[in-house]
């Protein structure tokens, strides 16, 4: 909450935050409908998207029904599918959320 209040006063979001922290801030921005803060969090998440972190962002996009974020994550998955689908993070996602992982795999398969 402190980071969100700092942003509202300064319009600056620390660049050294973890993906997990940015996801929490995104959650708060969405909950309190602070669109410019949510957009800043989205840009930061997308700029740091990696094979290791993509599942966290995918879950976030799905939970918040954020079509833009989901589309960007889907494109990332499409171009890095081999690495992602063989990662321990993807295996964990598949076990915890088989519907989401199946939906993404189907979309990637259809787009190739």
Residue 16: its pLDDT value, please?
77
Alpha-carbon distance of 61 to 71, in angstroms, equals: 9
Nearest to 14 by CA among 41, 51, 34: 41
Alpha-carbon distance of 79 to 81, in angstroms, equals: 6
The answer to whether residue 111 scores a pLDDT higher than 90 is no
Per-residue model confidence as pLDDT tens digits over 17-33? 889 989 999 999 999 99
Mean pLDDT of 85-112: 95
Residue 4: its pLDDT value, please?
65
Residue with the two structure tokens 């740091």: 48
The answer to whether residue 12 scores a pLDDT higher than 90 is no
């Amino acid at each position: 909450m402190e980071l969100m209040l700092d942003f509202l006063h300064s319009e600056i979001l620390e660049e050294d935050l973890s993906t997990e922290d940015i996801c929490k801030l995104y959650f708060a921005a969405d909950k309190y409908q602070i669109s410019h803060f949510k957009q800043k969090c989205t840009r930061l998440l997308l700029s740091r998207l990696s094979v290791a972190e993509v599942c966290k962002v995918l879950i976030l996009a799905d939970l918040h029904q954020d079509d833009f974020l989901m589309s960007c994550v889907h494109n990332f998955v499409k171009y890095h599918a081999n690495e992602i689908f063989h990662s321990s993070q993807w295996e964990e996602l598949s076990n915890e959320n088989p519907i989401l992982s199946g939906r993404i795999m189907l979309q990637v398969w259809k787009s190739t």
